[in-house]
A = this chain, B = another copy of it.
Amino acid sequence: MKSALKKADLIKDYIINTRRELHRHPEPAFKENWTHDFIKKQLKNLGCKPKTLNKTGLTADIGKGKNRIALRADMDALPIPEENSLAYKSENKGFMHACGHDTHMAMLLGAAKLFTDTKNPPPVRLIFQPSEEKTPGGAKGMIEEGALKGISEIYAIHINPEAEVGTLTLKSGVMLATADEMEITIIGKGGHAAEPHKTIDPIYASALFINQTQSLVSRKAAPKSPFVISICTINGGTAFNITPDKVKMKGTVRTIDKELWQKAPQWIENILKGLNLSLGIDYELAYERGYPIMKNDPKKTENLIKIAESIFKNIELMESPIMGGEDFAYYLQEIPGTFVFMGGANKKKGIHSKLHSANFNIDENALPLGTALLYSLATK
């Protein structure tokens, strides 16, 4: 009997071509229409009966029997203009699969191909989920529409463009943080730049706000408690000589400490309230709670490690959780399972980049390993 890895290697071309096709067509959260149709067609070609869920998501059941396990891939891309010069570069200007969801879908379609090539495939459910990047996340809707019905365990792989091909990285227990999202509007009073005393300058107020958020991390959190507050967008003003009325900012709060998580919105609002008093600005704060803390099930993790040993050269256990959030956490709140990072870098070939960067890139030789892992999880 051929090993899972050998089987996956035989369909390497299919996986890579599928990934490239998806890479060309990045679509943002809940607008994965082309992607949805492409996957639907692929699944039908493989003899599956895909169901559309949660706007642009899909599920497809393969095989029969008890203890059906779910394998999940996320579908959405990011609003980042691609800077790579690849033959299969993004054709949707301003968007890019810079978080590798194209690879997740391709690996899962590869596994689908292996299952459907088998006479008696194990009971699996493929979950293609929209909107992982944007709260409240697509996982919630998938679950609400029944994606986990009849499922006893669930797995997902995330590509890591910083780790070498052949590396699998994971952690038992808490592995990923909460990820809240906030939008802040500072409302001042616009006017001519030459008359600052007749304006309330929202750009200066924003500077004080951004500056003061640093101290929530440096002074309010216990040193041992991971805590991140990042302001990631800022926009205001139209001309060099007109003080604007407003500045808008977006950002995120991350932690694995429940108390910090509870207090953060109030602390942030208190900074804004303070600036209201001292500068006279008004503000709007839209604070949206993000994905829950993600906990891998210890037993499923242990089992996955055993399976993975024949596929990956290097299995790394993480010492501490990382601050990225994932809506896969919603699935793991319902049923046991495990989420893993899989290396996609190849430093010898000069392939080495970061998630969410405009030159995100991976060595596609990594993809059969992921397909093999997904396949093995269901067959063993």
Binding site for B on A (CB under 8 A): 78-80, 133, 177, 179, 181-183, 190-199, 201, 203-204, 206-224, 226-245, 247, 250-252, 254, 270-271, 273-279, 319-325, 354-358
In the complex, chain B residues whose CB is within 8 Å of the CB of A177: 194
14 contacts between A and B (CB under 8 A): A78-B238, A78-B239, A192-B324, A194-B252, A196-B219, A196-B230, A197-B222, A201-B230, A203-B210, A204-B219, A206-B234, A213-B218, A234-B234, A240-B250
The interface centre, meaning the residue of A218, A270, A271 with most chain B CB atoms within 10 A of its CB, is A218
Q: Contact: B244 with A218, CB < 8 Å?
A: no
Copies in the complex: 4
Q: Contact: A320 with B224, CB < 8 Å?
A: yes
Minimal beta-carbon separation of A299 from chain B (angstroms) = 23
Q: Contact: A354 with B278, CB < 8 Å?
A: no
Give which listed residue, B199, B218, B242, B275, contacts A196 with CB less than 8 A.
B218
**Contacts A193-B228, A240-B183, A240-B232 known; A207 to B201 CB distance under 8 Å?**
no
Give which listed residue, B183, B223, B273, contacts A194 with CB less than 8 A.
B223
In the complex, chain B residues whose CB is within 8 Å of the CB of A278: 212, 270-271, 273-275
In the complex, chain B residues whose CB is within 8 Å of the CB of A219: 196-197, 199, 201, 204, 214
**Contacts A233-B244, A278-B274 known; A204 to B194 CB distance under 8 Å?**
no
In the complex, chain B residues whose CB is within 8 Å of the CB of A319: 224
Instruction: Give 3 closest A-B pairs by Cβ, nearest first.
Output: A233-B237, A274-B278, A194-B323
Q: Contact: A206 with B207, CB < 8 Å?
A: yes
Q: Contact: B214 with A215, CB < 8 Å?
A: yes
Q: Which residue of B lies closest to A209 (CB)?
A: B207
Give which listed residue, B190, B210, B211, contacts A356 with CB less than 8 A.
B190
Q: Contact: A226 with B228, CB < 8 Å?
A: no
Minimal beta-carbon separation of A249 from chain B (angstroms) = 8
Give which listed residue, B79, B190, B211, contacts A207 with CB less than 8 A.
B211
Q: Contact: B204 with A231, CB < 8 Å?
A: yes
Expressed in whole angstroms, the Cα–Cα distance for A218 and B215 within the complex equals 7
